[in-house]
Structure 1
Amino acid sequence: MNELALEYFFFNLPIYKPVQVTENWDDFIFLLNLGRGHNQQDIEGYNPFRKTESTFGGWSNIKESIEYFTKYGGTDRIGIKCKRYGDVLDFFIHYNADKHILMKVGQFPSVADFHIQELKKYQKVLNKEKLKEFSKGIGLAANGVGIGSFVYLRRIFEHLIWDSFDQHKNDINKDEKEFVTLRMEDKIESLLPGLWHTGRNLSITN
């Protein structure tokens, strides 16, 4: 994965995650030029201010030369501007010239803000409590706390498994005492016939 691909860098890369700048040097230079208004390329992403997908372009007034920044490193600012509404998203990067390591050290809005709209997809299958946990998981992942995010996502997954068990326990011929002792992959496998039965009925009625 190219972590300096524009859409990924701006909308998905967690802050403080180090990116080694070696073979992707040209992408690094393109990014710096974008922050100085020298490059214009459409960037597709989510505008959290307007709650809609939109197209962005480079926007900034940085005066410091790229040559100085790449030689000595430091902190830089890159802005991208929504072409539809004019909203500006700000990103702050730090480059260690000795180690050739780049990272985002701040941004507004946050990575979580770009992905919070994904919660809408799951409103029909998750209750309010689980939606809050999902939101926390997204926030932790956005800040590079993968382990903490995994804890919340595992809770949600287990909730869905048990919810499915309650709906299909008559189809799988297992009581709760037996089901709770199964490994997770065995729980999923045992539920497949019940899920298939539901899916088959849905396909017939639809």
Structure 2
Amino acid sequence: MKVVQTLAELFYEIPLYESVALPEDLRLKLIVLGGDDATFEGYCPECETVRPFKIKQHCDFSRDPLTRVTWQDIVSRVTQQTCILAAHCTFDESHSIRMVLDCGTLELMKIGQYPSLADIGNSEIKRFRGVLSRLDMSELHKAIGLGAHGVGVGSFTYLRRIFERIIQSRFDEFHQSEGWDPEAFRVAWMDEKIAMIRSHIPEVLYENRKIYAVLSKGIHELSEEECLAAFPWLKKSIIFILDDDLRKRDELRQRDEIRKALGDFL
């Protein structure tokens, strides 16, 4: 059973109806209201950027949903409970992410969330429309939707296709100027391809290239659980590359504006 290590992981990575285990320290973060330890950073779909979030309420369905739970309430309910956990953006408290959890002593299952993982994920990738092809954008939406419903093989397959096309596009763009061998690239494993194009991708991908060897395995070699486990880091890798592309594009735009302004001045 997967052990959730952070609040951000619980809010942004765990799909509905998947039982997960919680370490004791995270359990305390979920049941004790307020305090600095009940905060985390994550993507706010309404701010459309990463913001700090703070846990604001925790309740069961036998109470008014807006009633704060006291410490005595927590002490009296040591075992199972159904609860609502709400995280509010600290930049605007009207922006929130809410989960309905079926909780055990050290286990829980997410049985509801709003906005959904798919809604949050699709909001997060809107900014990449200018750097992704229509096909990649469509398949990224599909991957996020499948991942949000716990479909491991399907979501992983779409992400793998996108990642492979991004790596291939880097090779196609620079192989002549760099003198790379197309046949050597074609037969190489993914970690070897990443090493080959190192100078044209974010360094963190090269530093962790061994983990990407899993992308060279056939889908039939991977279990549903392995694909679900790979989904978060593969999605983050794709987003990291795309953010890097956006930064480079913005830098080029600013350079062009400076050249134009200097030309007009001179």
Structure 2 SS opposite 1:54? strand
**Map of 1:82 onto structure 2:** 89
Q: Which amino acid counterpart does residue 27 of structure 1 have in structure 2?
A: L
* Counterparts of residues 25-36 of structure 1 (less than 5 Å): 25-34=24-33
Cα distance change of structure 1 residues 68 and 105 upon mapping to structure 2, 3 Å threshold: farther
- 1:114 pairs, out of 120, 137, 145, with 120
Deviations 1:92-141 (A, max 9, x none): 111235xx421222110122333335425644542022112112212323
Instruction: Report how many residues are paired.
Output: 186
1:40 aligned onto 2:35: yes
**Map of 1:94 onto structure 2:** 102
Distance 1:189 1:52 in 2: 28
Deviations 1:127-170 (A, max 9, x none): 02211211221232333322221110121133234434544565
Does the 8 Å contact 1:164/1:191 carry over to 2? no
1:55 aligned onto 2:52: yes
* Counterparts of residues 136-155 of structure 1 (less than 5 Å): 136-155=142-161
Deviations 1:150-203 (A, max 9, x none): 1101211332344345445654454xxx5797254498279649969xxxxx9x
Deviation at 1:52, TM superposition (A): 3.1
RMSD over equivalenced CA pairs, Å:
3.6
Q: Which amino acid counterpart does residue 54 of structure 2 have in structure 1?
A: G
**Map of 2:234 onto structure 1:** none
Distance 1:43 1:59 in 2: 12
**Map of 2:193 onto structure 1:** 188
Deviation at 1:5, TM superposition (A): 2.2
TM-score with structure 2 length normalisation?
A: 0.55
Structure having the larger proportion of residues in helix? 2
TM-score with structure 1 length normalisation?
A: 0.68
Does the 8 Å contact 2:15/2:149 carry over to 1? yes
Q: Which amino acid counterpart does residue 153 of structure 2 have in structure 1?
A: I
**Map of 1:19 onto structure 2:** 20
**Map of 1:8 onto structure 2:** 9
Distance 2:93 2:20 in 1: 29
Distance 2:44 2:109 in 1: 22
Deviation at 1:28, TM superposition (A): 0.8
Name structure 2 gaps, 5 residues minimum: 64-68, 202-247, 249-254, 256-266
Greater alpha carbon shift after TM alignment, 110-119 vs 75-84? 110-119
Higher RCO (CA-CA < 8 Å; seq separation 6+): 1
Structure 1 SS opposite 2:86? strand
Does the 8 Å contact 2:52/2:90 carry over to 1? yes
Cα distance change of structure 1 residues 186 and 95 upon mapping to structure 2, 3 Å threshold: closer
Does the 8 Å contact 2:3/2:21 carry over to 1? no
Deviation at 1:4, TM superposition (A): 4.5
Name structure 1 gaps, 5 residues minimum: 197-201
